[in-house]
Amino acid sequence: MIQEIKGQLTAGSGKYAIVVSRFNEFITSRLLGGAIDCLQRHGAKDEQITVVWVPGTVEITPVARRLADSGKYAAILCLGAVIRGQTTHYDLVCQQISRGVGQINFECKTPAIFGVLTCETLEQAIERAGTKQGNAGAAAAMAAMEMADLLSRI
């Protein structure tokens, strides 16, 4: 008999922390709105959601790590928007956030969800912040709920 384990798409009774970058706030505020709306539509009450603003995407990981280590949350959502400019800064920011979120997932029991847009243009970011390509914040919320429920079953 094959045993199959699947996470359900429900907020359950756990708490969700959302770490969101103020850099490119025009975009990240929409990711945040999408994430909160999605959590609420799946049963989360206001008391289950904590939002932490940080200056930029580079600052997401240290804060997300503290929140993960606290053991208070079912999942940590990391929301940011990195948009390529004229310099190599974009690459460095992308490296830091992808390594940072990966490290939390390897080292902590609490899942960290990568809800950071890494775009060549502002238009690409707008498309992923609630227009043509959906809302990456809502997608991060879906992944957070599924992972929280899945890990509770293992």
DSSP state letters, 100-132? HHHHHHHH-SS-EEEEEEEESSHHHHHHTEEET
Which of the following is catalytic: 89, 91, 95, 120? 89
At closest approach, how far in Å is the CB of 136 from ligand INI?
14
Stretch that binds ligand INI, among 16-24, 65-73, 101-109, 129-137 (CB under 6 A): 16-24
Query: Quick check: 14 binds ligand INI (CB under 6 A)?
Result: no
The tokens 């429900």 sit on which residue?
10
Task: Note the Cα 148 to chain centre separation in Å.
Answer: 13
Decide if 119 contacts 80 (C-beta within 8 A). no
Count of residues that interact with ligand INI, criterion CB under 6 A = 16
Which is closer to ligand INI, CB of 57 or CB of 110? 57
Q: Check if 89 is active-site.
A: yes
Smallest distance from ligand INI to CB 59, Å: 5
24 is a contact residue toward ligand INI (CB under 6 A)? yes
Residue 92's SS3 state is: helix
- Residue 125 CA to residue 123 CA, distance in Å, equals 5
Instruction: Report how far residue 83's alpha carbon sits from residue 69's, in angstroms, rounded to the nearest whole number.
Output: 29
Question: For the window 39-78, what string marks contact with ligand INI as x by the rule CB under 6 A?
Answer: ----------------xxxxx-------------------
Is residue 82 close enough to count as binding ligand INI by CB under 6 A? Answer: yes
For 71, counting Cβ atoms within 10 Å of its Cβ (0-12 exposed, 13-18 middle, 19+ buried), the class is exposed
Instruction: Please identify every residue annotated as catalytic.
Output: 89
> Which positions touch ligand INI (CB under 6 A)?
21, 23-24, 55-59, 80-83, 85, 89-90, 93
